[in-house]
């Protein structure tokens, strides 16, 4: 996986993946099991990850998306998958519904201008953190730290709602 190791991926993405899965299956215990399976697959396939094909988060959410589909196939083999799951083309954007986008927009307004810019460049414009750092004229490590802190602030703001 290049410079990103499994422990970093686990700590960075575990909660995001868990809440993504929980939002799809609705049952906490099922979400925990599926999430565990996802990180097992990530660990087992970490050497196969090709950063030229997809970003790490896209790769991770694709694995999570497929795990949710597999869950529905095995749990409800006779029922069709919900249209919501079938219609997700872009995982990172697909899990955000209108309400979530409105809440996210309100939460972004509470961040500092620089932190908001980092989030917007990273997730809306799809820039890498290296490119964001260059665009904002700050060091990569400083950008990475601000990015992590901004996401933590957003999480706290959104959890209060």
Domain boundaries, the chain: 1-95, 96-161
Residue with tokens 């069709």: 80
Angle at 54 between CA 48 and CA 55, to 5 degrees: 100
96-161, what's its fold?
Answer: Arc Repressor Mutant, subunit A (1.10.10)
pLDDT digits (tens, 9 = 90+) for 37-92: 998 888 888 777 777 777 788 888 889 988 988 887 776 543 443 444 444 444 44
The band of 18, judged by pLDDT with boundaries at 50, 70 and 90, is very high
**Which CATH fold would you assign to the domain 1-95?**
Rna Polymerase Sigma Factor; Chain: A (1.10.1740)
Residue 27 CA to residue 140 CA, distance in Å, equals 39
- Of 26-40, 86-100, 130-144, which gets the smallest average pLDDT? 86-100
């Amino acid at each position: 996986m290049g410079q990103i190791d499994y422990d970093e991926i686990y700590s960075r993405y575990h909660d995001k993946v868990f809440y993504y899965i929980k939002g799809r299956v609705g049952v906490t215990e099922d979400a925990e099991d599926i999430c565990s399976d996802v990180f097992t697959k990530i660990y087992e396939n970490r050497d196969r990850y090709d950063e030229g094909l997809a970003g790490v988060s896209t790769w991770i959410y694709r694995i999570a998306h497929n795990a949710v589909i597999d869950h529905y196939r095995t749990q409800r083999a006779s029922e069709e998958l919900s249209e919501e799951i079938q219609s997700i083309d872009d995982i990172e954007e697909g899990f955000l519904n209108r309400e979530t986008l409105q809440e996210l927009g309100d939460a972004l307004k509470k961040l500092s201008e620089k932190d908001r810019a980092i989030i917007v460049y990273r997730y809306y414009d799809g820039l890498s953190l290296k490119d964001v750092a260059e665009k904002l004229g700050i060091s990569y490590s400083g950008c990475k730290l601000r990015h992590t802190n901004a996401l933590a602030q957003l999480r706290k703001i959104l959890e209060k709602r």
